[in-house]
Amino acid sequence: MTPAVLIVLDALVPAATRARLVGMIEAAAPTARLIVPETPAGALDQAAPAAVAAGWTLPDGLVERMPRLRWIHAFTAGVDHFVGLPGVRDGRVVLTRTVGAHTAMPEHVMALVLAFSRRLHVDIRRQAAHRWDRPAGIGGEVRGQVLGILGLGQIGRALAAQAAAFGMRVIGAKRTPDPVPHVERVFPPDRMDEVLREADFVVALLPATPATRGVLGEREFRLMRPTAVFINVARGTILQEPALLRALREGWIAGAGLDVFDAEPLPPDHPLYAFEQVIITPHVAGVTPQFFDRVAGVFCENLRRYAAGEPLQHVVDVSRGY
């Protein structure tokens, strides 16, 4: 099989990395015709011959211009931007996702946990203001603290191992509550409240699906301890943002570490920027220089399989959304 393959690369990808990724893809399927536009508009203009499309997102209207499209590969673990595309929902187009590339995400979460525990977010602001305020810099210890993980998939399991290495107790919730290494107790989704009540740090790793949209609202934030910190590295859509803002303003929770948002980029006048007890990162929890190579590696193996007529890996169950 000699498919035409459209690769839509994000602006986040540095030029040198872009060239290396294209070289890896060419080596995986040397007979394929690669189409790598420089811009989203270029993707729309050049898409028609392609039977395969891959990217972090696809420009609006792109799929409608691809009459030969048979397979879409998401360079992301979450596929909420892809499951509603024409052809995907009805099964005419196979959707696969990237699994195993986001190995830095647990480290990002632990960095946030440690920063809040040691109150580094307070000290950094004091430093910027040229203020020596020693009591403000005295934090606690994570050893013995409870980390609650909402979503114990591959990333959640890796996070549990790292948290346990710091001496934390780990509890969590997942769709099928079978035992997970390093996790003391695993609850089904209908008992998520127990995680919220007990955890000192609540980490959201839920997939973005219709069932999880807005699942964290006023009721859930009120269940959390007033000393607890909420961390979201999943998707902004899983929480009700007004409820989070109220929780921060009224002290239902002690703080929040946020990497994902309903609107991205987060507008400069957004009220979240004003909270001293909030740490904001621009959707980079899983991104490192090595990340891009791992993303390309997952896609290249599937492209090799596609060209050879073999079954694809990491096919998305569209009815579940992951």
Q: Which residues are catalytic?
A: 235, 264, 283
Q: What are phi and psi of 39, to 5 degrees?
A: -140, 160
Q: What b/e readout covers 209-228, taking b as 16+ CB neighbours within 10 angstroms?
A: beebeebbeeebbebbbeeb
Tokens of 193: 């409240």
Q: What's the CA dihedral at 38, 79, 261, 214 to 10 degrees?
A: 160
Q: Give the separation between CA 69 and CA 92, rounded to whole angstroms.
A: 9
Q: How far is CA 143 from CA 45, 116, 158, 194, in A?
A: 55, 13, 18, 21
Separation between Cα atoms, residue 173 and residue 223, nearest integer Å? 15
Report the C-alpha gap between 295 and 299 in whole angstroms.
Answer: 6
Helices (H), the chain: 15-28, 40-46, 105-117, 120-128, 154-165, 192-198, 218-223, 241-249, 289-308
**Are 162 and 110 spatial neighbours (Cβ–Cβ below 8 Å)?**
yes
For residues 163 and 247, what is the distance between their CA atoms, to the nearest angstrom? 25
